[in-house]
Amino acid sequence: MKICGEILIVLVLLTVAAFSGAAAAEEMRTFVDDIGREVTLPAAVDAVSPSGPLAQIVLYSLDPDLLVSIAREFSESQKKYIDPRLLTLPVTGNFYGSKASTMNAESIMAMDKELHIDVVLDVGEVKDTMESDFDDIFRKTNVTFAFVTQNTLDDIPGSYLKLGRLLSREEQGQRLSNYTSLLLAEFAAGMAKIGDNKKSLIYVTAVDGNSVSMMGKGSYHAEVIDYVGNNVVPSAVSGSGRGDDYTMEDVLRMNPDFIIVSSTTDHAYYKKILSDPMWQSLSAVKNGNVYEAPNGPYNWMGGPPSVHRLLSLIWLGNLMYPDVFDYSIDSRVKEFYSLFFHYELTDAELNELMVYAKPHASPTTTQTPVPIAGICAGVSVVVLGLSFRRTCRP
């Protein structure tokens, strides 16, 4: 009788184990990423590490709560836009990239013990060794890596659909995909109207005396510039986000309709272009068409070049072709910040961001307003003085 009871207990335990195993199996799923790797993931993903800054930006737009680490610390100027929780997360560095990486097998295993990572996400451009790299790091760490392409502007809508499925955030992925699809369709129609009548422009990333760094045609970092205007800078040589170096004589020969300038904390490049005599003969300077790219939390022109480049598309389209892209730039920017940065911009914050990004915002033409009350008081003094003179006249 005792033996029968023990057998019954064993059978019950085996049954429970079988059901538990089946339940666990049901809670996992597979996903084929953009390099064709089949990865196994929990049914509900809630712990993701970015493989680098691009993935960090895209993950944040999808759902900040997904992040259990960050690839790069946020600067002081960025922190105001960022969920405070992320400022306390461990910094894991880049898996790829020229900068030193702390994302190696040992650090990943140590991090996973603490954070229980569901997946390490890479977003951007496919690399030749990516499949073997990810297979190798998985064998060493048992931590899943997955890749989604988001290289060109046209990649963005589809990438959000894939990311939504990969990371169990289908609703937000669909929302961001719809937004970007409509925006790109709007610009395709608008640029078709403009046709060959594109304005010429240059994007200046640095000014140092007679040396001017600019983004060359065809560069990954110049995609928006090449799209909305006639980029008169020659084809890019460097793949750097700084671009290539030219002389002031080169700039004078280009003589663009518009000059877009990379932002600095003190607006140094922008102010130099407007005040330096070497720049004054350029059409863009003469016509007041010099503008500084807004920066917050990232440079709208790139740096790094991720989904926020759509902000530069919205901005430059309205700035250069207001008759075609006829909308409130303020409303569009606020909408983007709400959707992608989960941040509600105030009017004051927007004005600060775009201080030199709108027409007639040049610091050389800004005048201190005279208070209306002061004008009225001055007029009153003059009137009283004239009255007194008439009264005292012999």
Predicted local distance difference test score (pLDDT) of residue 22: 40
> 238 and 340, same structural domain?
yes
Cα torsion angle, 277, 278, 280, 285, sign: negative
Same domain, 258 and 346: yes
Residue 251 included in any domain: yes
Residues 125 and 34 occupy one common structural domain: yes
H-only helix segments in 294-345: 309-320, 329-336
User: Around Cβ 394, how many Cβ atoms within 10 Å?
Assistant: 2
* Residue pair 146/135 in contact by the 8 Å Cβ criterion: no
Same-domain pairing of 211 and 89: no
> Residue 215: helix, strand or coil by DSSP?
coil
Range of the domain at 38: 28-184
Name the E strands within the chain: 28-32, 38-42, 48-50, 119-124, 145-149, 200-208, 211-214, 230-231, 244-247, 258-261, 290-292
Same-domain pairing of 144 and 290: no
Tokens of 237: 């040589």
Task: Name the domain count of the chain.
Answer: 2
Q: Which residue has the higher pLDDT, 3 or 308?
A: 308
pLDDT digits (tens, 9 = 90+) for 99-110: 556 788 998 999
Residue after which a domain boundary falls, among 151, 184, 217: 184
- Domain of residue 173, CATH code: 3.40.50.1980
Burial (CB count within 10 angstroms: exposed 0-12, middle 13-18, buried 19+), residue 9: exposed
* Residues 45 and 180 both lie in one domain: yes
Within 10 Å of residue 136's Cβ, how many Cβ atoms? 13
- The predicted-structure confidence for 363-391, as pLDDT tens digits, reads as follows 443 333 333 333 333 333 333 343 333 33
Residues 6 or more apart whose CB falls under 8 angstroms from that of 216 comprise 222, 231, 233, 234, 235, 236, 237, 238, 243, 244
Confidence of residue 152 (pLDDT cuts 50, 70, 90): very high
Q: Checking phi first, is residue 355 left (phi over 0); if not, alpha (psi -120 to 50) or beta? A: alpha
Residue 367 covered by a domain: no
Rounded Cα distance, 278 and 248, in Å: 8
